[in-house]
Chains A and B, each alone.
Chain A
Amino acid sequence: DQQVKQNSPSLSVQEGRISILNCDYTNSMFDYFLWYKKYPAEGPTFLISISSIKDKNEDGRFTVFLNKSAKHLSLHIVPSQPGDSAVYFCAASVRTGTASKLTFGTGTRLQVTL
């Protein structure tokens, strides 16, 4: 049972335009959400996160929105740049004792074209 879903396996966006990546989750116990970017042959790189008590978090060109009632989050990248081309994973976290467990979505491959 996939608790975190990214329904778009791929997305193509023109340079300078907005990229919107979506993610849905089913487990109400998740209290922290993250986006990671992954290039081939590298590990996931942390991009931005949001706590379940917020509905928006912004960091430069990246903004994450959380809609708890819909169990939906999205990552907006604006303006998109060719270097943003990568696979993007959303992840949801639940605290377990002193650490946390991450559950990842299946990823969306973003292609930013010139």
Chain B
Amino acid sequence: DTEVTQTPKHLVMGMTNKKSLKCEQHMGHRAMYWYKQKAKKPPELMFVYSYEKLSINESVPSRFSPECPNSSLLNLHLHALQPEDSALYLCASSQLGGRQPQHFGDGTRLSIL
């Protein structure tokens, strides 16, 4: 059982759609992360939130818009995505500070038609 819950598990959307991915954790972690994983590749960091504020954006295109409404929730808003954005999107959380393990959800598998 994962303590980081992501919904939906699967999402198929057209290039003109707007959708959102959701992530929730109840471990009291104040750092939350979005990663993207393409097939047969390692996860790649997209965004980092600390204390509900965006602290790192790894040069992600603006068609991906993160939001952290409170300390337990993290959203990723999607708009006008491209077929190459099809991937597994993983959310993670951790305690603040360095040398803390990140705990991952099971991801949302996104397909762009």
Contact = CB atoms under 8 A, between A and B. Distances in A.
B99 A45 contact: no
Contacts of A17: none
Contacts of B107: 42-43
B2 A104 contact: no
A107 B103 contact: no
A4 B30 CA distance: 26
Contact of B102 (A97, A102, A106): A102
Contact of A89 (B42, B49, B105): B42
Contact of A31 (B44, B48, B96, B99): B99
Nearest to B106: A43
A77 interface: no
A52 B38 CA distance: 29
Interface string A78-95: 000000000001000111
B56 interface: yes
B101 A99 contact: no
Nearest to A107: B42
A41 B108 CA distance: 10
B59 interface: no
Given A43-B2, A105-B42, A106-B42, A98 B50 contact: yes
Contact of A98 (B41, B96, B101, B103): B96
A42 B2 CA distance: 9
A52 to B, nearest CB: 9
A12 interface: no
A105 to B, nearest CB: 6
Contacts of B69: none
B14 interface: no
Interface of A: 4, 31-32, 34, 36, 41-46, 49, 51, 89, 93-107
Interface of B: 2, 4, 6, 30-31, 33, 41-45, 48-51, 55-56, 90, 92, 94, 96-107
Given A100-B98, A100-B99, 9 more contacts: A43-B92, A43-B105, A94-B98, A97-B50, A98-B55, A99-B33, A99-B56, A101-B56, A104-B44
